Amino acid sequence: MMNVFIDTNILFEKYFFDEKSVKRLLDYAQRGLLNLYMSEVVRLELRRQYQNELEASNGCLKKIEQNSEKMKYSIELNKIDVEQQLAIFDMFYDLLNKGHGNFSILPYKNEMLPEIVERAVSRRKPFTENKTELKDAIIWLTYAQYAEENDLKDCILLSNNTDDFCTKKDKTTLHPELQKDSKRFSVINSAFEFIRTQSPIIEKPLKEFENFVASLSIDNEYILTVIQEYFEKEVEKKLRQDIERTSLDHFLPDYIGILDGEMVPTDIEIAECRNIDYEVLDKRALVSGIVTVTCTSDYLEYHPGHEPGEDNFVWKADKFLIFDMYFNFDLLEDEKFEDFEITDIKLESVN
């Protein structure tokens, strides 16, 4: 049985395993198809990230309230109870750890300290000359020692921290310095990549469904039509969220002045698909690829000194943006489609 050891970055913004790839990873563990391990340090780091996001959201709510006072309109906003949400987080992981034999949170050992100090001083992996990664050292030693002590086979470190854990040439191979601790591990860099490469091993495809998928012409045009017909709203939602959270100077590098405002996307178009691939699993096929999406986006600059009755924002510029969105979804019997997921978004050009 596979033994999967998860790093913090895999669950960033997915604290409750509530996105497709990590949800399926947890589902495999709960069905007894693999063992899933999490260091206590990973849990604590996720908890801190979650707390930071909650507090940032409260900061946004406070800003809205302050703006409402200035603008002379009334609004009632309920602040997030951070402690209550953290209690929910703690309960979730406590139930996972106690309620499912194939999910385990591994405590770190105090006796690791001398080894960690020695590595930090000598800059041995995962430490480097430029970085001091105490958390990574504890996480790695917790996993390596557990695998060795329990003689585990087929161990996978699920992490996209390739700089600290992997060789420079191969992001799926553990660094030689870390192999001195354990040679049992291979590395997979994302939850989606795990599902793409390992699900065919975990789930045995049914021959009848395999023949059905083979009868389809799963090419760029076919998948483009599927996305346009079934997942257009999800693509648009993800793109808007990405534009919202991206710094304005990515879109307006030549703009002279203080960038204070927002980008408002319009005319979003799903243009083309490429790099289409699929894996036949049990009664579904995991389809993946890249969809190119274009949009016009208006830069609206905020003017704090506007007159009463005037808009807070004025139009300053527009840009034509091209994005590559890395996606996957499930193809079911009778050409049904579900569980669409965007795993990465890259801004390709600004015109």
Q: What's the pLDDT tens digit per position in 169-224?
A: 888 889 888 899 899 999 999 999 999 999 988 988 778 899 999 999 999 999 99
Taken as a whole, the chain contains a residue count of 351
- Model-level pTM? 0.75
Which region among 154-168, 257-271, 299-313 has the lowest average model confidence (pLDDT)?
299-313
Spatial strand order of the sheet with 185-188 comes to 103-106, 34-39, 2-6, 155-158, 185-188
**CA–CA distance, 272 with 292 (Å, rounded to integer):** 5
Tokens of 343: 């795993």
Describe the chain by its helix, strand, coil percentages, rounded to 5.
45, 30, 30
If you average pLDDT over residues 293-305, what whole number do you get? 82
CA-nearest of 325, 265, 332 to 293 is 325
If you average pLDDT over residues 100-122, what whole number do you get? 73
Chain centroid offset of residue 349 CA: 23
Looking at domain 2-196, its CATH class is: alpha beta
Which helix (DSSP H) or strand (DSSP E) does residue 156 occupy? strand 155-158
Under the banding of pLDDT at 50, 70 and 90, the label for residue 138 is: confident
Mean of pLDDT over the chain: 87
- pLDDT score of 122 more than 90: no
Residue 78 exposed, middle or buried by CB count within 10 Å (0-12, 13-18, 19+): exposed
Which residue reads 């990574």 in tokens? 136
Query: What is the 8-class DSSP label of residue 200?
Result: H
**CA–CA distance, 177 with 185 (Å, rounded to integer):** 13
Residue 142 exposed, middle or buried by CB count within 10 Å (0-12, 13-18, 19+): buried
Under the banding of pLDDT at 50, 70 and 90, the label for residue 335 is: very high
**CA–CA distance, 288 with 326 (Å, rounded to integer):** 8
275 in the Ramachandran plot: left (φ > 0), alpha (ψ -120 to 50) or beta? left
Under the banding of pLDDT at 50, 70 and 90, the label for residue 164 is: confident
Is the Cα torsion angle 237, 304, 310, 295 positive or negative in sign?
negative
- pLDDT score of 127 more than 60: no
The domain segmentation of the chain, as residue ranges, is 2-196, 204-350
> Half-sphere exposure of 318 toward its Cβ, with a 13 Å CA cutoff?
9
**CA–CA distance, 282 with 195 (Å, rounded to integer):** 13
**CA–CA distance, 343 with 328 (Å, rounded to integer):** 8
Residues 6+ apart with CB under 8 A from 280: 200, 205, 209, 210, 213
**CA–CA distance, 341 with 338 (Å, rounded to integer):** 9
Asked if 293 contacts 325 with a C-beta cutoff of 8 angstroms, the reply is yes
- C-alpha radius of gyration, the chain, whole number: 24
**CA–CA distance, 86 with 145 (Å, rounded to integer):** 30
